[in-house]
Amino acid sequence: MRGFRRLGMKLTKRGTKLGISVTMLAAWAVVAAAQDVAAGQEVVHAASRTEAGITSAAITENADAAAAAPAVPGSFDEVVDRMVEREHLLLAQMRNLRPLVETYVQDLKADADGNPVPVHDQYFLGRLDLSEGPEDVSFLSQSGGRGPLGKLSDLFSLRFQPKGFAQMVVLDTDLYKKNYTFTYVRREFLGEVRCIVMDAQPIADAPPGRFEGRIWVEDQGYNIVRFNGTYSGHPSNGFYLHFDSWRLNLHPGMWLPAYVYSEESDLDSGSGHFHVKAQTRLWGYDLKAAVKSRNEEFTQIVVDSQIKDQSGATADPSPVAAERMWEKQAEDNVVERLQNVGLLAPAGDVDAVLEAVVNNLVISNNLALQSDVHCRVLITAPLESFTIGHTIVVSRGLLDVLPDEAALAMVLAHELSHIVLGHQFDAKLAFNDRMFFPDEQSFRRLDFKRRPADEDAADAKALELLKNSPYKEKLATAGLFLRALQQRAPDLPNLIRPHLGNSFAVGTNTRMEALLSSAPQLDAQRIDQIAALPLGGRIKLDPWSDQVELAKAQPVTLALSREKMPFEITPFFPFLTRLANDRGEKLVSAGSGSK
Ligand SMILES: [Zn+2]
């Protein structure tokens, strides 16, 4: 953890440098300085990957097996043999891994123009446990999602068990040649990885629940990297969805499940037709590494006799200083815990971008803060932001959908205001025993909700900060974003309901309401009016290390108004890259889909 903190300090310094004169980040999607940092970070990345803290025998064996790959298969039949063998090895490996799995489902209905819009949603977050078949341990209490749509929720939970989504990360636990007919289709590149494409069909008398569809097998280790189709037959209490399941090369020789997109456009449930879309993401494969690097650092400290107390303190702190240190201790405990659980991304270049925006607000308002403000990314999809002491946390989902830097500044200004106004942070977590709880209870045990009075005060202060900032002329899009949020909030309670902080929208009210008056009316038909983006467009997550970075995808010119898709789910098309093995010279950050 301290290793991460050291990196964080380096980044902050850069952020401060950036903000000496107020720097607008143009389109905040790409920032030169942040790229600079990213280059340095690649090294950290590489080190943590090759030393990865996996001790399981099966996995080590596998990495060795990949290094000394047997001869190239001479026929399609041999390719199938190798693929089946690799898939069983993957299953064995997955039994030792406990990644987080998040599924977000939207139920769509056609609007007046015939375009599908989301009318209800569902959210699952848990830890995948394949030790006895696909199961997961939920982070969320099961009572959520009730209310006026309770009946629909019941339908959803009946048909879309998290277990059903967990199943789609593995092709078939009984993938054997005797159960299937495999047909060669062609060779094809997915990203820079050449694949052998084949179709799989269960044989006539195979038991139900067999995979039916297309499989992409990379042509070096013969691992399945993508499969697209459904399962045959019907489970007892529902039906199988169609899905497109992707794996990334996250560890030498290992292609691990990362994304699953599901869609069903005409689902006859007996009580009407459904149109659903769902995104499943997995991450947190290497959480043990955080603990390992901490242990390594301890060893280094013992060896290094030059180590000195950096604080410069020569006496006991004053009572006020002690109080501040106490709060800092609670803040550090919580941040570290959230990261170790896999909910918070390690410090990185996205934080530096957010900190540069915070800095713009601090400098243009001449704010004197008792200590630096840090920013971190919560990896989950629901739109939320909150503060832990002097750390501002913004969720991946919220960063994804914010239309521009001014809208981001609005979110950060609100959180910064809590810090400026000195709103109370419950420091009870400075007692370390209070951090001893099972990971699944994180949402229940950690709570950063504010009193309504504090929320109102922060809104007022944030407006003041924004009016003095370089964002003051650009707040129309921020207001527009709030309008879009207000419009969708009743239909998407699970996306807009926060798990740790305060809600962005309460009923028909939103945070920072004053900005609404200056915003233009929402116009769904106007292609050039972007109030909010689809989910998944901005933040790229490495499912192995949990590091996040800004996506480098080229912006696409929209052709149709229905392509705006605010807050909506879209399919995954990761650019696949190979991770160099242990002997390799170049290490590609495969998890982020960039190169
Ligand atoms: Zn607040």
Which regions of 163-272 does DSSP assign to beta strands (E)?
Answer: 180-190, 193-202, 211-218, 224-231, 242-251, 254-268
**What is the distance in A from the centroid of ligand 1 to the CA of 409?**
14
Per-residue pLDDT of 262-274, as tens digits, reads: 988 766 655 566 7
Distances in Å between the Cα of 401 and the Cα atoms of 62, 281, 367, 395, 396 are 39, 17, 29, 10, 9
**What is the distance in A from the centroid of ligand 1 to the CA of 142?**
26
pTM of the model: 0.79
Per-residue pLDDT of 197-218, as tens digits, reads: 999 999 988 877 889 999 999 9
**What is the distance in A from the centroid of ligand 1 to the CA of 418?**
7
CB 244 within 8 Å of CB 220: no
Of 492 and 561, the one with more pLDDT: 492
Q: Is the pLDDT of residue 196 over 80?
A: yes
Same domain membership, residue 330 and residue 275: no
Mean pLDDT lowest among 300-304, 325-329, 335-339, 517-521:
300-304
How far is Cα 409 from Cα 404, in angstroms, rounded to an integer?
Answer: 9
**Which range marks the domain in which residue 354 is found?**
319-533
Q: Mapping DSSP to helix (H, G, I), strand (E, B) and coil, where does residue 33 land?
A: helix
pLDDT, residue 514, reads: 84
pLDDT-derived band at 519, boundaries 50, 70, 90: confident
Same domain membership, residue 394 and residue 266: no
**What is the distance in A from the centroid of ligand 1 to the CA of 565?**
27
**What is the distance in A from the centroid of ligand 1 to the CA of 501?**
8
**What is the distance in A from the centroid of ligand 1 to the CA of 386?**
6
Per-residue pLDDT of 359-401, as tens digits, reads: 999 999 999 888 889 999 999 999 999 999 899 999 999 999 9
Same domain membership, residue 177 and residue 114: yes
Q: Is residue 212 part of a domain?
A: yes
Average pLDDT across the chain, whole number: 76
**What is the distance in A from the centroid of ligand 1 to the CA of 52?**
38
How far is Cα 26 from Cα 343, in angstroms, rounded to an integer?
Answer: 29
Per-residue pLDDT of 291-301, as tens digits, reads: 555 556 555 54
Q: Is residue 26 part of a domain?
A: no
**What is the distance in A from the centroid of ligand 1 to the CA of 360?**
20
Bridge partners for 184 per DSSP? 198
Q: Is residue 425 part of a domain?
A: yes
pLDDT-derived band at 4, boundaries 50, 70, 90: very low
Q: How many Cα atoms within 13 Å fall on the side-chain side of residue 382?
A: 27
**What is the distance in A from the centroid of ligand 1 to the CA of 439?**
25
**What is the distance in A from the centroid of ligand 1 to the CA of 300?**
40
**What is the distance in A from the centroid of ligand 1 to the CA of 414?**
6
Structure tokens at 494: 């699970």
Of 217 and 144, the one with more pLDDT: 217
The phi and psi torsions of 52 (rounded to 5 degrees) equal -35, 135
Same domain membership, residue 258 and residue 138: yes
Query: Most confidently modeled of 11-20, 311-320, 375-384?
Result: 375-384
**What is the distance in A from the centroid of ligand 1 to the CA of 480?**
19
DSSP 467: H
**What is the distance in A from the centroid of ligand 1 to the CA of 452?**
9
**What is the distance in A from the centroid of ligand 1 to the CA of 58?**
47
**What is the distance in A from the centroid of ligand 1 to the CA of 122?**
24
Which of 492, 508, 533 terminates a domain? The answer is 533
Q: Is residue 591 part of a domain?
A: no
pLDDT, residue 137, reads: 58
pLDDT, residue 493, reads: 85
**What is the distance in A from the centroid of ligand 1 to the CA of 519?**
21
Bridge partners for 257 per DSSP? 247
**What is the distance in A from the centroid of ligand 1 to the CA of 415?**
6
Same domain membership, residue 371 and residue 272: no
Q: Is residue 188 part of a domain?
A: yes
Q: How many domains does the chain have?
A: 2
**What is the distance in A from the centroid of ligand 1 to the CA of 455?**
5
Burial category of 121 from C-beta neighbours within 10 Å (exposed 0-12, middle 13-18, buried 19 and up): buried
Which of 481, 505, 533 terminates a domain? The answer is 533
Which of 533, 563, 582 terminates a domain? The answer is 533
Q: Mapping DSSP to helix (H, G, I), strand (E, B) and coil, where does residue 213 land?
A: strand
**What is the distance in A from the centroid of ligand 1 to the CA of 468?**
20
**What is the distance in A from the centroid of ligand 1 to the CA of 375?**
15
CB 579 within 8 Å of CB 49: yes
Of 210 and 302, the one with more pLDDT: 210
Same domain membership, residue 435 and residue 386: yes
**What is the distance in A from the centroid of ligand 1 to the CA of 457?**
9
How far is Cα 55 from Cα 59, in angstroms, rounded to an integer?
Answer: 7
Per-residue pLDDT of 419-447, as tens digits, reads: 999 887 766 766 766 666 677 677 666 77
Q: Is residue 300 part of a domain?
A: no
Same domain membership, residue 92 and residue 185: yes
Same domain membership, residue 335 and residue 263: no
Same domain membership, residue 190 and residue 267: yes
Q: Is residue 120 part of a domain?
A: yes
**What is the distance in A from the centroid of ligand 1 to the CA of 337?**
22
CB 284 within 8 Å of CB 546: yes
Same domain membership, residue 472 and residue 331: yes
**What is the distance in A from the centroid of ligand 1 to the CA of 416?**
9
**What is the distance in A from the centroid of ligand 1 to the CA of 389?**
13
Q: Is residue 420 part of a domain?
A: yes
Q: How many Cα atoms within 13 Å fall on the side-chain side of residue 347?
A: 24
**What is the distance in A from the centroid of ligand 1 to the CA of 385?**
8
Same domain membership, residue 258 and residue 150: yes
Same domain membership, residue 326 and residue 447: yes
How far is Cα 551 from Cα 538, in angstroms, rounded to an integer?
Answer: 5
pLDDT, residue 37, reads: 32
**What is the distance in A from the centroid of ligand 1 to the CA of 321?**
26
